[in-house]
A and B are shown apart, each in its own frame.
Chain A
Amino acid sequence: MSLSDLASPNVVPLPSTASASSASRLRIPRVGVTIAVAWLAVLAVGALAAAAGLTADPLANDYAVISQAPSLAHPFGTDNLGRDVFSRSLHGAGASAIVALVTVTVGGGLGILLGVWAGLRRGIADAITGFVTDVTIALPSLIIVATIVTLAGPSLPTIALTIAAFAIPVFARLGRSATLAVATENHVVVARTLGASGWRILTREVLPGVLPALMPFVLTTLATAIVAEGALSFLGFGLRPPEPSWGGLIAEGRTQLALAPWVTLMPALLLCATILSINVLGEHLREAKR
Chain B
Amino acid sequence: MFRRRASSALIAATIIGSLALTACSGPATGATGDGADTRTAAPGGTLTVALDRELPTLDVTNGLLATQPVLILSNALYEPLMAPAAGGTFTPGLAKSLESDETATHWTLTLPDDVTFSDGSPLTTASVKAHVERLADPASKSSAAGQAAQISAMTITDDTTMVFDLKAPNADFTSLLARTLGMITSTTATDEFGFPLGAGPFVVKDFTPGDSVTVVRNDNYWGEPATLDSITFRMMPDADSRFQSLQSGDVDLIWTEVTSQFEQARADDSLQVHAEPAAVSSLLLNLSSPKFADVKVRTALAQAIDRDAVNAVVNLGEGTPVDSPYSLLGDAAPKVDYPEYDLEAAKKVLEGAGLSFSITSDNSPDSIQRATAVKDMLGEAGVDVEIVPVEGASFLSTLTAKDFEAAQLVTSIFSDPSGGALVATSTGPYNFTGYANDDVDQLLKQASGLTDGSERSALLADASDHLATDLPMLWLTASNAGLIGSNKLAGFPDLTGLTLISVQPSTIGWAAE
Q: Which residues of A contact B (CB under 8 A)?
A: 27, 29, 31-32, 59-61, 63, 66, 80-82, 149-150, 153-154, 236, 240-242, 252, 254-259, 261-262, 265, 269
Contacts and interface: CB of A to CB of B under 8 A. Distances in A.
B2 A258 contact: no
Given A255-B258, A255-B260, A255-B261, A66 B313 contact: yes
Contacts, number: 77
B26 A241 contact: no
A259 B372 contact: no
B511 interface: no
Given A61-B313, A150-B391, A258 B26 contact: yes
6 contacts: A31-B2, A81-B372, A256-B260, A259-B260, A261-B19, A262-B20
A252 B365 contact: yes
Contacts of B372: 59, 61, 81, 241-242
By Cβ-Cβ distance, the 3 closest A-B pairs, closest first, are A29-B2, A240-B389, A261-B20
Nearest to B313: A63
A81 B26 contact: no
A261 B388 contact: no
Contacts of A259: 24, 26, 260, 264
Given A66-B313, A242-B368, A255-B261, A154 B16 contact: no
Interface of B: 1-2, 5, 13, 16, 19-20, 23-24, 26, 239-240, 243, 247, 258, 260-261, 264, 309, 312-314, 316, 363, 365, 368-369, 372-373, 375-376, 387-389, 391, 394
A27 B4 CA distance: 13
Given A61-B373, A63-B312, A242-B368, 18 more contacts: A60-B376, A63-B313, A66-B313, A81-B369, A81-B372, A150-B394, A241-B389, A255-B239, A255-B240, A255-B243, A255-B258, A255-B260, A255-B261, A255-B365, A257-B240, A258-B247, A259-B260, A261-B23
B373 A258 contact: no
A258 B264 contact: yes
Interface of B is mostly: helix
A154 B239 contact: no
B368 A257 contact: no
A239 to B, nearest CB: 10
Nearest to A272: B12
Contacts of B26: 258-259
Contacts of B394: 150
B69 to A, nearest CB: 17
Contacts of A265: 16, 20
Contacts of A63: 309, 312-313
A81 B373 contact: yes
Contacts of A255: 239-240, 243, 258, 260-261, 365
Contact of B24 (A81, A150, A241, A261): A261
A251 to B, nearest CB: 8
Contact of B23 (A241, A242, A257): A257
Nearest to B16: A265
B329 to A, nearest CB: 30
Contacts of A236: 363
A27 B1 contact: yes
Nearest to A61: B376
A215 to B, nearest CB: 23
A164 B368 CA distance: 27
B254 to A, nearest CB: 13
A242 B389 CA distance: 10
Nearest to A32: B2
B476 to A, nearest CB: 15
Contacts of B23: 257-258, 261
Contacts of A154: 389
A81 B313 contact: yes
A255 B337 CA distance: 37
